[in-house]
Structure 1
Amino acid sequence: MGYLQSLLGYGHTHKKRRQLQTVELKVRMDCDGCELKVKKALSNMKGVESVEINRKQNKVTVTGYIEQNKVLKKVQATGKKAEIWPYVPYDLVMHPYVVGTYDKRAPPGYVRNVEVITASSSTVKQEERFTNLFSDENPNACLIM
């Protein structure tokens, strides 16, 4: 009976498969001991494939079948101050030197990822508004001769 049920799919629950992903964290590390403590904690975590640490940038990159929040909590459990990597390359941001985006503590070539969330939606709305001002489909549009 069990064999027949397995063939028909009865009583079989499908587990949600985790996807391979990369989690980047900013972790305050001052010495080799800090680095080793973080690497050991993450390497022993279930689903972790690799752990790369760049102490100069205070950046930890974890790859595996993992969840971002669990990785963050695991690092915080070591007593280290950790957060999700808040930086993006400066050439991906429209205005890298505006207040809130520029961070002098960011690694060279990086700025805070603030503009992506807040300004991108308002920029699109402004561009759309200006485009509609001169649209052929808008009967009240400005006429330029």
Structure 2
Amino acid sequence: MTIKQFEKAIKSLNGYAFPVKGKVIKAYTEKNSFYCDCVKMNLDDSESNLIIPKVKVPKIWGKLTPGDLVNISFYEGNIHFPFVSSVEGIDMSPAGLYDLIKKLIDILIALKTVGSPPQHTVSPDDIVKLTELKTVDLEKLFK
């Protein structure tokens, strides 16, 4: 690598946003997607004055709660496109996963096959159970 190529590579890093640690201050949904506003954490775990708004939260993490610690990355290094790359302190114990999977299986078993040809139907009660499971138990599991 020549000096010119090295200088060009260094200049291309100018403005590149590296991952940062953040603390959720507000969590919300918008257009069927999860978002949160975060305050950037310093390396000594103190809060900085920088607020990173509208950080996209992948659906696997669900809706976060204020106080959750997250790692924030940026698509293509662009600070205008933040997303949560991981959540710290998630309890993924085998017992918690077992309970969650058991509840999902119980609800899926409740599906009925009726008519000819067979059709799968879900009762309103099943939908309520799935909704409650998503909003209550999944959040507990991912804390």
Q: TM-score range by the shorter chain?
A: under 0.3
Counting strand residues as a fraction of each chain, which structure ranks higher? 2
Q: TM-score, normalised by structure 1?
A: 0.22
Larger Rg: 1
